[in-house]
Amino acid sequence: MTAADVTSDSNLAALRPPASNAGFSHRSRSRALRNLVARVVMWLAFLIALVPLVWILWSVVTKGGALLLNSTWWTNSQRGITDRMVGGGAAHAIEGTLIEALATAVMAVPIGVMTAIYLVEYGRGRLANIVSFMVDILTGIPSIVAALFIYAVWVTTFGFQRVGFAVCLALVLLMIPVIVRSTEEMLKLVHNDLREASYALGVPKWKTIARVVVPTAFSGIITGILLGLARIMGETAPLLILGPYTKDIATDIFGGLVPTLPTMINQDRTEVLQPAVDRVWGAAMTLILIILLLNIAGRLVSRLGAPKT
């Protein structure tokens, strides 16, 4: 609770001496005016910030919402559907998006969590500083550069096919720093008394971390992972150059093209044929919904099990 909560402007005005002096009252009026202007400006800033949000959500819902009410949208793929046909669904892209995110998480989460454990529980000295610095660098890598790197290694150097797994590799680069930073925060929040109590009972350090520290911070770590997932699901740049689209259900990330919602949008984003346009916005809305759900899940988890320190 801040002071401003308790003391409103009107209370303050009442505390001030009555404005008997003409010069003071003049100055006071200009101060009050400035105060009022500032208040109006802040409200305006907030309202202006809401404009794009409402506008974007309105566009997406009105242009793409209708398709989502159709049950085939959630169960069918786009196989056999051309831009001039109505029908089909986004099941292939939804599945692809989830599978790629899951595969990315399987790779990124252990590395990220263990790195965070290293930094918080073990890290001292030069190596820890370097690791921390490298995580900062990873945070700053633009997604297109990560994609370019994987493309250069995977396709140009090794001559492999562009498959879903290559996309996952690029996404791993983007997800690791998110996981490290959020896990690190959560581990730091675990009270030292817990660790010390454990040591005092003769529990070895690794067991203390695995059985006391990590479980205490567990919900926070999960939240971080869910938010990291939400982040990479909306990521399109690596998909542009590594993940060609297919209209079919394809879940084998090593075997070929895996369709995702961002590539589904990208594929037809310039189309004018109404069925295709509807599907583009429908896919956009689906993607936003999934990301939102993950965010809400993340918040719920963190609220349910916030570490009691």
Kindly identify the residues of this chain, within the stretch 150-169, that bind other proteins according to CB under 8 A.
Answer: 151-153, 155-156, 159, 161-162
**Residue 42 found at the interface with other proteins (CB under 8 A):** yes
**Residue 240 found at the interface with other proteins (CB under 8 A):** yes
Question: What tokens appear for 197 in the block?
Answer: 């109590």
Q: Which of 24, 26, 27, 38 binds other proteins (CB under 8 A)?
A: 38
Subset of 182-221 contacting other proteins (CB under 8 A): 182, 184-185, 188-190, 192, 195-196, 199, 204-210, 213, 215-216, 218-220
Q: Would you give the distance in Å from CA 224 to the centre of its chain?
A: 9
Subset of 250-309 contacting other proteins (CB under 8 A): 250-251, 256-257, 262, 265-273, 280-281, 284, 287-288, 291-292, 295, 297, 300-302, 304-305, 308
**Residue 237 found at the interface with other proteins (CB under 8 A):** yes
Instruction: State the minimum distance, in angstroms, from the CB of residue 22 to other proteins.
Output: 18
Instruction: State the minimum distance, in angstroms, from the CB of residue 69 to other proteins.
Output: 17
Nearest CA among 257, 236, 239 for reference residue 248: 257
Cα three-residue angle 13-14-19, rounded to 5 degrees: 70
Q: Which of 24, 26, 55, 254 binds other proteins (CB under 8 A)?
A: 55
Instruction: State the minimum distance, in angstroms, from the CB of residue 36 to other proteins.
Output: 8
Question: What tokens appear for 281 in the block?
Answer: 């916005």
Instruction: State the minimum distance, in angstroms, from the CB of residue 220 to other proteins.
Output: 8
**Residue 107 found at the interface with other proteins (CB under 8 A):** no
Instruction: State the minimum distance, in angstroms, from the CB of residue 159 to other proteins.
Output: 7
**What is the rounded distance in angstroms from the CA atom of residue 66 to the CA atom of residue 281?**
10
Instruction: State the minimum distance, in angstroms, from the CB of residue 173 to other proteins.
Output: 7
Number of other CB atoms surrounding residue 44 within 10 Å: 10
Q: Give me the phi and psi of 197, to 5 degrees please.
A: -60, -40
Instruction: State the minimum distance, in angstroms, from the CB of residue 287 to other proteins.
Output: 6
3-state SS class at 62: helix
Nearest CA among 98, 99, 71, 96 for reference residue 246: 96
N-to-C CA span, the chain: 20
Q: Which of 26, 29, 43, 197 binds other proteins (CB under 8 A)?
A: 43
**Residue 34 found at the interface with other proteins (CB under 8 A):** yes
Q: Which of 68, 103, 166, 180 binds other proteins (CB under 8 A)?
A: 180
Q: Which of 119, 171, 253, 258 binds other proteins (CB under 8 A)?
A: 119
**Residue 49 found at the interface with other proteins (CB under 8 A):** yes
Instruction: State the minimum distance, in angstroms, from the CB of residue 121 to other proteins.
Output: 6
- Residue 264 makes CB contacts below 8 A (sequence gap 6+) with 78, 90, 93, 245, 279, 280, 283
Phi-psi region of 88 (alpha: psi -120 to 50; beta: other; left: phi over 0): left
| Tokens 């959500």, residue located | 57
**What is the rounded distance in angstroms from the CA atom of residue 201 to the CA atom of residue 208?**
10
Question: What tokens appear for 198 in the block?
Answer: 């454990």
